[in-house]
Amino acid sequence: MNSPAIRQNTESLSDLFAPHLEAVEKRTASALEATGFESLLLHAGNPPLLFLDDHHLPFKVQAPFKVWAPLSDAPDSFVFFTPGRKPVLLIHQPIDYWHKSPETPKDYWVAGFDIVSCADRAAARAALPKDLSRTAFIGAAFQELVSWGVKAINPEHLITHLDYPRAAKTPYEIACLREANVLGARGHAAAEKAFRAGASEFEVGLAFMAGCGQRERELPYNPIIALNEGGAVLHYQVQQRIRPPELHSMLIDAGAEFAGYASDITRTHSHHDAEFAQLIRRFDELQLELCARAKAGVDWRHFHQWSYRAISEYLHEVGLIRVSADEAVDSALTSVFYPHGIGHLLGLQVHDVGGQQLGPVGGTIDRPYNHPFLRLTRKLEDGFVVTVEPGFYLIDQLLEEAKAKPLGKMIEWKRVEQLKPFGGIRIEDNVVARNGGSENLTRAAFHA
C-alpha cells in the first residue's frame, strides 16, 4: 500500500478517507433504517478449495467489505457497523506456521476503526455482540454462520439500497481510481515496448505486470493481450507463448488496482503498418470526442446511441461499409462490427454494481431493445466513473452471418479481407462524469 511506486501520499489519502468513511456510514445507516435492520456484518470472503484438492483459489476480497476497508490480504475478516458507533474491524490473524498471518494494518485508514485481532471465526463471533437478531450479514455464507443468530443473510432489499449510491464516487474513491490509472498506464507503456520488440502475448503480459508492479492475482482482471487477428475476440484470454511469424497489431485491455479500486484501460497498436496506425489515430479522435460528452445528466442509453452513430460514420469513412451512416444505423449493420456496449460503471469492481438500477429500492432501467449488451442504463450523475470503450472488429462469426443476409451487400468485403489480419481496434479510458464536463483519468495518467 505504501509502495514508492504510488504517487499519492498517505497524508492526502488520510484526509480523503475520513469523509469517505463518514459518507459510507451515513448511507449505510439510511439503508439499515429503511430495511429494518440495526447493524451490518460484512465478510471479506475466503478463497474456496479446488474440487477434491487441498489447494485454494487466489483470494479476492469482496467488494461490499472493501468499500469500508482497503484490506486485500486478510481473508475471513469482518467489518461490523452499528449506526452511531465506530465501525469494528475484526481482522483474521491465525496462529499458523504454514502461512504468514496478515499483519495488523497501520495505513492511513485505520483511525476510522476499532481493530480487533481474531485467531479464528470463533474469536470473531466472541468479539461481536451476543444478540445479532437485528443484524444483516453480507458476504459469502459459511457453515458456522447459521449458529451466529443473524437476522438475514444477503437480504436483497438491503443490498439494492447499498448498491445504488455506490455509482457516485467520493473524492477518496476518485483519488484511488486516479492512482489505479497511473499504475495501469505504466503497465501499458511497458507492454507496448515489449510488443515493439517482438514479444509474444505471454511476454507482453509479463511486461505489463512488471510495469505496473503487480502480480497476476493482484490485477483486477486477467489482461486481454491479443496479437494480430486475436483482436477480433472481445474477451481474448489465451496469451500465446509462441511469437507469431509476423506481427501486425496488438489490442491490450488491461488494468491495475489501487486500494481495492480498478482501472480498465484498452489500447490498440500497429506494429509497422502506416495505414492501420492512421486508422487507430482517427479512432482515437472519435473516442476522445465521446469521452468529452460523458457529463452528468447524460442518459447512458443515449450515449451508446451516439457511439453507435459515430462508429457508423467511421466504418463508412474507412471503406468497410458501402452505405451511409444513416443506413448502417437503421439496418443495424453497425452491430456486425460493434457488437458490445460503449462502457460500464467502474470502481471496486471492474463492472461495478447498480448500473441498471431504477432506484435504491430496486427495479431496473431496461436496455434498448436493439442494444441488449449495455451494462449501464442510468443517467450519469456527478462523480460517476465510467469506461468509454468504443471498438470495431472483424469477427468471423458475425461477418458470416451478415453475408448470408441482405446486410452482406452493404459490406465492402475486399476491405474486410485487407483488415482482418489486424483483428480490430478498441480504445478505452476511465472517465469521471462532472456537472458541466468530464475528467479523463486515463489520459492524465499517461501524461503523469
CA–CA separation, 207 vs 205, rounded Å?
5
CATH of residue 88:
3.40.350.10
Average pLDDT over residues 133-155: 97
With beta carbons less than 8 A apart as the criterion, state whether 160 and 360 touch: yes
**Cα–Cα separations (whole angstroms), residue 7 to 103, 109, 183, 258, 375:** 23, 17, 10, 11, 32
Regarding whether 365 and 262 lie in a shared domain, the answer is: yes
Domain boundary among the residues 137, 166, 195 is at 166
Residue 317, domain member (yes or no): yes
With beta carbons less than 8 A apart as the criterion, state whether 92 and 109 touch: no
Regarding whether 215 and 115 lie in a shared domain, the answer is: no
Best CA proximity match to 406, nearest among 320, 322, 340: 322
Question: What was the pLDDT predicted at 304?
Answer: 97
Domain boundary among the residues 147, 166, 185 is at 166
User: Which residues, 6+ apart, have CB-to-CB distance to 388 below 8 Å?
Assistant: 287, 290, 291, 294, 342, 343, 428, 429, 431
What are 393-421's pLDDT values in tens digits?
999 999 999 999 999 999 999 999 999 99
Confidence of residue 448 (pLDDT cuts 50, 70, 90): confident
With beta carbons less than 8 A apart as the criterion, state whether 276 and 199 touch: no
CATH of residue 408:
3.90.230.10
Residue entry with cell 462508429: 311
Q: For the chain, how many structural domains are there in total?
A: 2
Question: What was the pLDDT predicted at 199?
Answer: 98
Confidence of residue 4 (pLDDT cuts 50, 70, 90): very low
CA–CA separation, 388 vs 118, rounded Å?
43
Domain boundary among the residues 135, 166, 197 is at 166
Computed over every residue of the chain, the mean pLDDT equals 96
State CA 111 to chain mean position distance. 28
Question: What was the pLDDT predicted at 5?
Answer: 41
What are 11-45's pLDDT values in tens digits?
699 999 999 999 999 999 999 999 999 999 999 99
**Amino acid at the residue 120:** D
Regarding whether 206 and 94 lie in a shared domain, the answer is: no
Confidence of residue 10 (pLDDT cuts 50, 70, 90): low
Regarding whether 142 and 274 lie in a shared domain, the answer is: no
The β-bridge partners of 252 are 225, 267
DSSP string for 185-246: HHHHHHHHHHHHTT--HHHHHHHHHHHHT--GGGSSS--EEEEGGGGGSTT-----SSPPSS
Structural domain for 365, as ranges: 168-446
Confidence of residue 370 (pLDDT cuts 50, 70, 90): confident
State CA 121 to chain mean position distance. 31
Phi/psi region, residue 130 (left: phi>0; alpha: psi -120 to 50; beta: rest), is alpha
Regarding whether 322 and 413 lie in a shared domain, the answer is: yes
Q: What's the pTM value of the predicted model, to 2 decimals?
A: 0.96
Average pLDDT over residues 317-346: 97
Asked if pLDDT for residue 194 goes beyond 90, the answer is yes
Regarding whether 423 and 320 lie in a shared domain, the answer is: yes
Residue 4, domain member (yes or no): no
Regarding whether 172 and 160 lie in a shared domain, the answer is: no
Regarding whether 280 and 397 lie in a shared domain, the answer is: yes
Question: What was the pLDDT predicted at 348?
Answer: 98
Residue 227, domain member (yes or no): yes
Best CA proximity match to 118, nearest among 152, 153, 144: 144
Regarding whether 275 and 135 lie in a shared domain, the answer is: no
What are 105-130's pLDDT values in tens digits?
999 999 999 999 999 999 999 999 99
Regarding whether 280 and 157 lie in a shared domain, the answer is: no
Question: What was the pLDDT predicted at 3?
Answer: 39
